[in-house]
Amino acid sequence: MTAYTCPSLARTSALALCVASVALSKLPVSMRLLKRDPSLPSEAPGSAGAGAGAGARGRPENYISRDALGADRGGRREGPTCPEPGPGPARMASPADGNTEAGVFPLSCVVQQYAWGKTGSSSEVARLLASSDPSVQISEDQPYAELWMGAHPRGDAKILGSQKTLGQWIAENQDCLGSKVKAAFHGKLPFLFKVLSVETALSIQAHPDKELAEKLHLQAPQHYPDANHKPEMAIALTSFQGLCGFRPLEEIVAFLQKVPEFRFLIGDAAAAQLQQSVGSDSQAVASALRRCFSQLMTSEKKAVVEQLDRLVMRISQQVCAGNHMEDVLGELLLQLHQEYPGDIGCFAIYFLNVLTLKPGEAMFLEANVPHAYLKGDCVECMACSDNTVRAGLTPKFIDVPTLCEMLSYSPSPSQDRLFHPARSQEDPCLSIYNPPVPDFTVMKMEVPGSAAEYKVTALDSASILLVVQGTVTASTPTAPAAIPLRRGGVLFIGASESVLLRLTVPEDLLLFRACCLL
């Protein structure tokens, strides 16, 4: 059957292509899309699928070839497999039907109601939850911050229709992870898959590398509960704003000149050193930047509150007078001060890049990169760890000395912080976000509603599949009954298992799949 062509996806950078191509050279084809039978209901009005069909014309250089993705089950190349999360608490086929034996089953996932989350039905987390299970009652005054899809001890998903958790099932069926993943990660799922709905800013933070994580865990296990690193990636579902990495020095120097309250906390000597380091070698730049950032973060609380109050009053007066204050990030500064009055983290916007991601755009947060999520909804995947070093915009434990010591003081433009997916040459509906860490990879699938079915092919890794949009039934060669999946559904897929998704409603599908590609 002729392959259907999806609408074009986001462009991929050469760097992302190189990373993804090397890592994916051992993997099987992930998906195959079939055209919808003309006798089935026509595509919904306004469906994006109406513009599909470009075929191979204009394919970007960053397409990933069929060989890079590998073959389907039977001719599969050796490599780790990732379990995919099953649907949330929707009413679906029970594990008693035999799906757990097949290694493909739906999940009921944990919702975290942190105070920074969006409330009620304004939260994408809540909307996904309610859609997957119409019996769920959403409390409009409660935050729905995170949906955890995985086997983390603090939020282990349950197998739908069973009291057994995913972590327990994996412990009893470790081959579901795939041979390489099982060996490399000692029989445990190496990633945690999430959906986040952010209303107020999360803390200014960074995550340690493995060496530092082991040290911090030994020194303060109450604050650093494990010895693992925590690289993470955020892929926007809606407009998503965050801080990520240090700005170019020229931008920081400009803020030191435009914002006297900021310069007061840094001090003239440190500010002068930073200005002199513009155009110098990376070591001189890092030294000057470290001095300035440390000077700010170790400022006395009284001085921070005084200077922040002055800045807020000055910006507020200018705004009331009808003046725009974009040149000093006035709107963002007022927003953060309202959320965290008197907090040192409000000044961090003058050091860090402000990114606003469009849906499908991503940022990767490797070890030692300062960052903070500010607002919006995203899919997030990370290594399975709780280690976070914080320094502002939070009521939680703050460890300023560790943060200032560990950070990577490498300034770069905001566009360099974007992480571009690679596109599959064989499956134009598939985009692959493959970061330079072994713990996880995320695949995004955009399937037009005019398709009859879509094949999720086997990997040598366990994976978790999230339905963000669309309605399907999922069937496998080994399962006795099809599993209905709708928006918010989460499916665990064991290594070497393929899944055929049949579209039951002619609307576009948006799927995300987390796995581990060793």
Kindly list the structural domains of the chain, giving each domain's residue range(s) and its CATH number in brackets, ordered by start: 107-247+350-404 (2.60.120.10), 249-339 (no CATH), 423-515 (2.60.120.10)
Q: State both tokens at 518.
A: 């060793």
Q: Which residue has the tokens 């599949």?
A: 465
Cα separation, 144 vs 139, in Å, equals: 9
Q: State both tokens at 300.
A: 């006395």
Mean pLDDT, to the nearest integer, of 200-204? 96
Active site residue 154: no
Catalytic residue among 390, 417, 486, 487: 390
* Confidence at 386, pLDDT banded by 50, 70, 90: confident
* Confidence at 398, pLDDT banded by 50, 70, 90: very high
Which own/partner contact pairs does 49-57 have at CB distance under 8 Å and 24+ positions apart? 49/7, 49/448, 49/449, 49/450, 49/451, 49/508, 50/448, 50/450, 51/7, 52/4, 52/5, 52/6, 52/7, 52/448, 52/450, 53/4, 53/5, 54/5, 54/8, 54/428, 55/5
- Whether the pLDDT of residue 456 is over 70: the answer is yes
Within 10 Å of residue 199's Cβ, how many Cβ atoms? 19
Looking at per-residue pLDDT, the higher value among 257 and 91 belongs to: 257
pTM: 0.82
Alpha helix (H) ranges present in 279-361? 282-297, 301-320, 330-339
Read off the amino acid at residue 119: T
CA-CA-CA-CA dihedral for 488, 489, 490, 494, to nearest 10? -150
Structure confidence at residue 77 (pLDDT):
29
- Whether the pLDDT of residue 78 is over 50: the answer is no
Structure confidence at residue 33 (pLDDT):
40
pLDDT more than 70, % of the chain = 80
Sign of the alpha-carbon torsion through 239, 240, 241, 244:
negative
Looking at per-residue pLDDT, the higher value among 81 and 445 belongs to: 445
* Mean pLDDT lowest among 247-256, 375-384, 477-486: 477-486
Cα separation, 112 vs 238, in Å, equals: 20
pLDDT digit string (tens) for 346-371?
A: 999 999 999 999 999 999 999 999 99
Structure confidence at residue 99 (pLDDT):
55
Structure confidence at residue 98 (pLDDT):
39
Cα separation, 181 vs 190, in Å, equals: 8
**Average pLDDT for the chain:** 84
- Whether the pLDDT of residue 14 is over 80: the answer is no
